[in-house]
Amino acid sequence: MSGDTQQTAAEYIKHHLQNMTYGKFPDGHWGLAHDAAEAKAMGFMAIHVDTMFWSIFLGALFLFLFKKVANTATAGVPGGMQNFVEMIVEFVDSSVKGTFSGRNPYVAPMALTIFVWVFLINFMDLMPVDWLPGVAGWIGHNLFGMDPHHVYFKVVPSTDPNATFGMALAVFMLTLYYSFKQKGMIGFVGELTLHPFSSDNKVLQLVFIPINFVLEFVALLAKPLSLSLRLYGNMFAGEMIFILIALMYGGGWLVGAFGGFLQLGWAIFHILIITLQAYIFMTLTIVYMDLAYQTNEDH
């Protein structure tokens, strides 16, 4: 599509950054948005079909592959896939043991799920930017009579802030749940109001309480924000670079060949980024769970 003369560079970029949005139009009927304005008009009553599809598909792929390996695991000489899965499990397990000081049998499986799922989601960024959107445009045009320029299909869920915020909020709710469970209401409120400033003087401590609450509450809200925005920002920037490189293919064979060289180099470097972002998301989740288990005596 980068070489399509009917699209300017700006239109090409906007097309690749637009999600396939299904929702309720202002007149009451439901359907797919044909442009960004229609998607915006749908407001809260909208869903990003492509984000949901790839998130669920890759999550199911992770479960299928790991369950298949678990069912066929052998105590003898393991196969290549079993070796690979065991390496990932041991890596995640060692990360949990080195970071999480509490006792919770669900933390390690959750960390494993987050690491592999986020990695698979990020890995979609290595797909050529025109392939899958081009297939979606062809299907929409030939099967449903749609204008291919109005068929949007983003394939990297982590470039959608709705996906990253959703994952971060799920982690945030879990940390709140275990904070209440471990510390109780009094302990949780005390954590928000008695730190970082404290005093043996009761009057002075009363003065510190609202100050502590503001500082700790901001720090509490910063956890899901930083967790989601870090992943979204890095993956969105990487996807944007791939899109800009793809534009070079429409500039002649010399510029296109240079673009291919740049794309190969960026893809190799991007493998590190997608792995690192998955690891950071997993590690911060473990850290937040560990903080949920810490009592006032640990501060």
pLDDT for residue 114 is more than 60: yes
Residue 24 lies in a domain: yes
Residue 96 lies in a domain: yes
Looking at per-residue confidence, does 194 or 66 come out higher? 66
Contact of 134 with 1, CB cutoff 8 Å:
yes
Cα 94 from Cα 80, distance rounded (Å): 21
| Range(s) of the domain holding residue 206 | 9-298
pLDDT digits (tens, 9 = 90+) for 129-162: 999 999 999 999 898 888 888 899 999 999 999 9
- Reply yes or no on whether the pLDDT at 77 is more than 80: no
Overall domain count for the chain: 1
* CA–CA gap between residue 225 and residue 240 (Å, rounded): 22
Q: What are the tens digits of pLDDT across the range 203-237?
A: 888 889 999 999 999 999 999 999 999 999 999 99
Compute how many other C-beta atoms are within 10 angstroms of the C-beta atom of residue 175.
Answer: 20
DSSP state of 159: G
Percent above pLDDT 70 for the chain: 97
| Cα distances (Å, whole numbers) of residue 125 to 36, 118, 132, 186, 292 | 22, 12, 11, 45, 33
Q: Write out the catalytic residue numbers.
A: 226, 230, 234
Q: How confident is the model at residue 194 (pLDDT cuts 50, 70, 90)?
A: confident
Q: Is residue 4 part of a domain?
A: no
pLDDT in tens, 234-256: 999 999 999 999 999 888 889 88
What is the C-alpha separation between 208 and 169, in angstroms, rounded? 29
2 occurs within a structural domain = no
Q: Is residue 1 one of the residues assigned to a domain?
A: no
- Residue 5 banded pLDDT, cuts 50, 70, 90: very low
Structural domain contains residue 138: yes
**Chain-centre distance of CA 169, in angstroms?**
11
Any domain includes 101:
yes
Least confident of 13-27, 189-203, 216-230: 189-203
pLDDT at 297: 54
Q: What pLDDT was estimated at residue 267?
A: 93
DSSP 164-225: HHHHHHHHHHHHHHHHHHHHHHHHHHHHHHSSS---SSHHHHHHHHHHHHHHHHHHHHHHHH
